[in-house]
Amino acid sequence: MKPYRAYLFDLDGTVYRGNKPIPEAVMALREMTERGAHIAFLTNNSSMTPEQVATKLRAMGVPADPEQVVTSSLVTAAALREEMPGASVYAIGEEGLLAALRSAGCRFDDERPDVVVVGIDRRLTYEKLAKAALAIQRGARFYATNPDRALPSEQGLLPGNGALLAALVTTTGVQPRVFGKPEPAFVHYALKRLGVPPQEALMVGDNGQTDIPAGARAGTDTLLVLTGVTRPEDVQALPVAPTYVAANVKEWWER
């Protein structure tokens, strides 16, 4: 096993599944932390704040500070702060997105915002979709935290942010600018925070369609773990070949 200075970890399917930790990942993360590796957690989930994510990880036995957590909401808000400081936004989303936009200095405006930002919102209503659609037609930019089509749950797949986006694209004919993985900007943002160049970092994730391309396009090595959505028989057909494939994080770590 080649050691890296930094490890960028996807969360759902990699470190935990829903509310259940994946023990091999927890074990490896504890060892990596003890050895002084830089670790960041990168999640497309826009609904939670970094504080909430860190609390969840610590409850599972993973050493984690909020500063190590990068959500698609943070990356979206950071782009807004950089490109359109003080922009007014209409947001569909949960606490993680609203808090990130507030911290980035955005003003909220339902009627004539500069930007419509859409993340998963399990309190979605028709009225929210209508407001977003009308604002986009009035010329607001259309930003999306992440493109995930569905949220896995114990009962089955629930509508993901990609489903909300599809409704708005169908209504308006306008495509959103998307920030989450597989966009490499997400990985660059995390690396910049850690102060580590891409060639010294490993992106670790279970999703061959998002985690692996995001890392590869950002210039990191990549480790695909088979603890989540990618099945062994899918590996050959992935759009980007991972640097490593392993049953789980610990199996790779002990090589």
Residue 139 beta carbon to a copy of itself: minimum distance, rounded to whole angstroms: 11
- As measured in angstroms, the least distance from the Cβ of 153 to a copy of itself is 8
Vertex 88: Cα angle to 82 and 93 (nearest 5): 90
Residue whose token pair is 């504890």: 30
Say which of 12, 114, 206, 211 is annotated catalytic.
Answer: 12
Mark whether 121 is an active-site residue.
Answer: no
Of 24 and 148, CB closest to a copy of itself: 148
SS3 state of residue 159 = strand
Q: For residue 234, indicate whether it is catalytic.
A: no
Residue 173 beta carbon to a copy of itself: minimum distance, rounded to whole angstroms = 8
For 133, the enclosing helix (H) or strand (E) is helix 126-137
Give me the residues that bind a copy of itself (CB under 8 A), please. 121-127, 129-130, 133-134, 137-138, 149-150, 155-160, 162-172
What does the alpha-carbon distance between residue 4 and residue 176 come to, in Å, rounded to a whole number? Answer: 35
Residue number with CB closer to a copy of itself (138 or 177): 138
Extract the tokens encoding 40.
């960041």
Residue (128 or 217) nearer to a copy of itself, CB: 128
Closer CB to a copy of itself, 164 or 226, in the complex: 164
Least distance from C-beta 13 to a copy of itself, angstroms?
A: 18
- In the bound state with a copy of itself, the residue whose beta carbon lies nearer, of 59 and 157, is 157
Distance CA 114, CA 160 (A): 24
Tell me the closest approach of the beta carbon of residue 212 to a copy of itself, in angstroms: 21
Please check whether residue 120 is in contact with residue 45, taking contact to mean a CB–CB distance below 8 angstroms. yes
Q: Is 18 left (phi over 0), alpha (psi -120 to 50) or beta?
A: left
CA distance 76 to 62: 26
Contacts with 161 (C-beta within 8 Å, 6 or more apart), sequence order: 46, 118, 119, 120, 144, 145, 146, 147, 148
Give the catalytic positions in this structure: 10, 12
